[in-house]
Amino acid sequence: MRLVVTRPAADAERTAVALRLRGHAVTVAPVLHVESLPDAPIGDGPWAAILVTSANAAPAVAAHARFAELRALPVLAVGERSAQAMREAGFADVSSSDGTAGDLVRLAAARRGQGLPLLYLAGVDRSRDIAADLGAQNIPVRTVVVYRALAAEVLPPSAEEALVAGIDGVLHYSRRSAGVWLKLTDNAAWRERALNGPIHFCLSAQVGEPLVQARLPDVRVAAQPTEAALFAKIPAT
């Protein structure tokens, strides 16, 4: 299949390699650019563990001035991709909830420390307030924004070229990136080629919400919020 991957560049390239090995033709067309905030005020601590809900937290914390101190903490990650990113950044004790933000909340509640707060290394845009969810269980959380995702204002040239040639599907990994893709292509020039024509493969139902609300004809959701489950939705070549 001729596929477009809309996630930020580093992750998109990794996804593209995996899809090409499966015989697909892949265009990398990021609609979000992730920017680390290395001077984000962390606070004094101590903390029981670090929470992360995105692999984007890994390069952000690795660039932070207090990285040497933070890397000694255990990490609770929402999924295996974010967990692996934290391991690659230098964290030794990393656990994954292998699911959604709700699964991470349950893992954090089960692994709560000696009354110490958790440190949530987050992005500016968050689909769920896990600090509030844990706070409702009397588990204190300090949320620190260490990265932000900036939306593209125009369609990437690589996407335009792919759309002119014709595509069969688009992969969406976050609700925000799906919304940005919709915004950039919901016009007379691109709507048929970018929205109505292709299959939209979404990592979760939440990711696909903007596309479903826009009544696109073919939105397919992974059985689990993992890349393997997402790939399973893509017809073999």
DSSP 162-194: HHHH--SEEEE-SHHHHHHHHHHH-STTTIIII
Fold annotation for 2-31+152-232: Rossmann fold (3.40.50)
pLDDT attached to residue 113:
61
pTM score? 0.80
Domains 2-31+152-232 and 35-148 share a fold: yes
Walk along the chain (237 residues) in steps of 10 and give the mean pLDDT of each run.
Answer: 94 94 97 92 90 92 92 92 93 90 87 82 84 89 93 96 98 94 96 97 94 98 92 92
pLDDT attached to residue 114:
64
pLDDT tens across 17-54, in order? 999 999 999 999 999 999 999 889 998 889 999 999 98
pLDDT attached to residue 20:
97
pLDDT tens across 197-215, in order? 999 999 999 899 999 999 9
Beta strands across the sheet bearing 118-123 = 32-36, 141-151, 118-123, 50-52, 75-77, 94-96
The domains of the chain are located at 2-31+152-232, 35-148
Indicate the CATH number for domain 35-148: 3.40.50.10090
pLDDT attached to residue 163:
98
